[in-house]
Chain A
Amino acid sequence: MEDFEGKKILVIQTHGVETPTRTYSPLFYAMAAAAMEIEVMVWFTMNGTNQLKKGEAEKVQLVKDSNVNLKTMLEMAMDSDVELRVCQQSLELWDMTEDDLIDGVEIMGATSIIELSLNYDHVMYF
């Protein structure tokens, strides 16, 4: 396997709990990148923001009877050193504040996403 150490990928997730089949894959790709020693950040914006509201992700389970739900996916991603960030302006869209967010997620503004996307080696947009 090629060595990708030092590369950086930004994953932008715009889909939320109302579309479960669009929630897992971006996190899975992010974890794969982290396993390959790629620095990876997932940026939640638009509807993606509602995944991060306390109590919501637990309700999203793709595979029946599985012990994995969206909350465990988010936790596995963070355990894999995937950084999770949320758009400040999108929080207001969903009437959310910092207190509504699950632990481990940082808030960033729009200018930060522009800076990040220019400084990362690759951006994956979902």
Chain B
Amino acid sequence: MAHEEVKGCVILKDLHYSVQDNTWVKADGDVVTIGMTDIAQSLAGPILHAKTKSVGTARKKGRPIATVESGKWVGPVKSPVTGEIIEVNEQLAGDAQLINRSPYRDGWVVKMKASNLEAELAEMTTGEAAVEAYRQKIEQDGIACTHIDDSDTYD
């Protein structure tokens, strides 16, 4: 999977990003998988608890789909799309640091059936534009990503 690293922060080019909220989306038809970015996991630090909203919960774009807490931060994961949660990552309940180790793969947060996907994907960034958007954010905020042991590697 094509990727780029900026100050240690991995950005996968084939995902769509809500840069402001540090979330990513992977669409398969109108079903989307949503997760936190590598930058988000790094800023949070080792995550202690991740509580997702329940399957069947309707969410508008921007509203929380999960609450994540580390030793130094607690906050929402904001939905980048409008729709209904159809699956949650049950593994996070017992191993929240899956988000730290594998933010783009095993540490996904929820899957949603999106109801306005085409328009909302168009508002996100992807590919080189996403890399550039994150490069600016990383430089502006002085971010450098760190990874805990056994984190995913990218070819």
B74 touches A31 (CB 8 A): yes
CB-defined contacts of A3 to chain B, threshold 8 Å = 53-54, 57
For chain B, the bracket of interface size reads 10 to 19
A66–B67 CA distance with the chains assembled, in angstroms: 23
Q: Contact mask B14-54 → A, CB, 8 Å, 1/0?
A: 00000000000000000000000000000000000001111
B75 touches A1 (CB 8 A): no
Q: How many A-B residue pairs have CB under 8 A?
A: 34
A31 touches B53 (CB 8 A): no
Q: How many A residues have CB within 8 A of the partner chain? A: 15
CB-defined contacts of B67 to chain A, threshold 8 Å = 1, 32, 35-36
User: How many whole Å from A118's CB to the nearest CB in chain B?
Assistant: 28
Q: Contact mask B47-89 → A, CB, 8 Å, 1/0?
A: 0000111100100000110111100111110000000000000
Residue in B51, B52, B63, B75 whose CB lies within 8 Å of A31: B75
Asked if A80 lies at the interface with its beta carbon under 8 angstroms from chain B, I say: yes
A1 touches B52 (CB 8 A): yes
CB-defined contacts of B75 to chain A, threshold 8 Å = 31, 35, 80
Asked if A28 lies at the interface with its beta carbon under 8 angstroms from chain B, I say: yes
B64 touches A35 (CB 8 A): yes
Residue in B52, B54, B57, B74 whose CB lies within 8 Å of A35: B74
CB-defined contacts of A31 to chain B, threshold 8 Å = 74-75
Across the two chains, which residue of chain A brings its CB closest to B142?
A: A67
CB-defined contacts of A66 to chain B, threshold 8 Å = 72
B→A interface (CB under 8 Å): 51-54, 57, 63-64, 66-69, 72-76
7 contacts between A and B (CB under 8 A): A1-B54, A3-B53, A3-B54, A31-B75, A36-B67, A63-B72, A66-B72
A→B interface (CB under 8 Å): 1-3, 28, 31-32, 34-37, 63, 66, 68, 76, 80
